[in-house]
Amino acid sequence: MASIPHYVSGTAGRKYLTEDETLFRDSVRQFARETISPLVREMDEHQKMDVSLIRQLFELGLMGMEIPEAYGGSSGTFFEVILAVEEISAVDPSVGVLVDVQNTLVINALLRWGTDEQKQRYLPRMAKEWVGAYALSEAASGSDAFALQARAEKKDDQYVLNGQKLWITNGKEAELFIVFATVDPAAGYKGIHAFLVEKSFPGFTLGKKEDKLGIRASSTCEVVLEDCKVPATNLLGEAGKGYKIAIETLNEGRIGIGAQMLGLAQGAWNHAARYAKERKQFGKPIADFQAIQFQLAELAVDIEAARLMVYNAARLKDAKLDFLKEAAMTKYFASQVAERVASQAVEVFGGYGFVKDYPVEKLFRDSKIGKIYEGTSNMQLATIAKMVM
């Protein structure tokens, strides 16, 4: 019989983590508050991730957490990835999604479907220096993820890719892209292949970088493929099984987005609670008024419920148990909570919450994307409905 983990209390009296997980979480939290926090506003205004920060993320092992030590990684768990994304996102969700996409989508796909040669070639770089990106979406292929227009044609010992990909997170920083394209449109989703495409491959170029509402330091770019030549050895997984890679990887990625939204909500709540104790009206802190107390109490309940859902889905994944329904619920609920908490935090700050000098304005802008990417709220509800009906 497996031993029962010994859980210890966190800073808020929670007992969800082992001692090692608590130490890991606290170290990431300290790094986020001391190193990331001073950079947040400048990165948001300039819409650019700080290069030295990316380097530090690699040095701390946060960009290759599940990569085995044999390839230079940390040999960590999926749950540790989720903890890191949560704590970083409490300070800046832009950095949180950089870490999330790297670990839950790109590295996850390489670990599960990469050949030994592909792992040996790419995982050491992903652990130490290369950022990855996941190129699935297109202009006509969003929620209908497999209505792909990008084409791949086999020619001798290589594939030639043509098409455009949109909304590619990490596009500006990435050196390796997992690109999905159709070899046989008549075969429908069974004609989709997945490819490991390096930024330096002939015919690969970055297009427009999007000017976004939120998570502005996180790059979101167009990818243009014009007779892009990809070695046949860079086919990821089996031919025609790209759809399987996309679906199963995104299921795990949704837990990561749930963690990002959870962290955002906790960060916004922390700012609101702290400000409520400092801001005085009618001769006393506004935190002494029951109206403010009840608002913060209700939000705290929402955050705790979201945390339980995120942690449960991550534990199920690590235990190799089914988690499809839980991932969809987690992503749906956490994104709802993040927007609600961030919006209320702006109101607690009053007029100050509406200006960029205070942090909740940014978190409110950042929260909106949670309902959109890696599966809209409606798509999550459709999945949940199928599972529970």
Structure tokens at 299: 């939000």
Asked if residue 18 lies in contact with residue 6, where contact means CB atoms within 8 angstroms, the answer is yes
**Which residue has 């986020």 as its token pair?**
32
Q: Using CA atoms, how far apart are residues 314 and 259, in angstroms rounded to an integer?
A: 9
> What are the structure tokens assigned to 19, written together?
């001692």
Q: Which residues of 311-320 are buried (b: 16+ CB within 10 A; e: fewer)?
A: bbbbbbbeee
Catalytic residue list contains 374: yes
- In the set 80, 222, 339, 374, the catalytic residue is 374
Question: ∠ CA(90), CA(94), CA(99), 5° rounding?
Answer: 85
Torsion angle in degrees (nearest 10) through CA of 377, 193, 67, 138: -40
In this structure, what are the phi and psi dihedrals at residue 8, rounded to the nearest 5 degrees?
A: -125, 160
What residue type is assigned to position 101 of the chain? V
Q: Which residues are tagged catalytic? A: 374
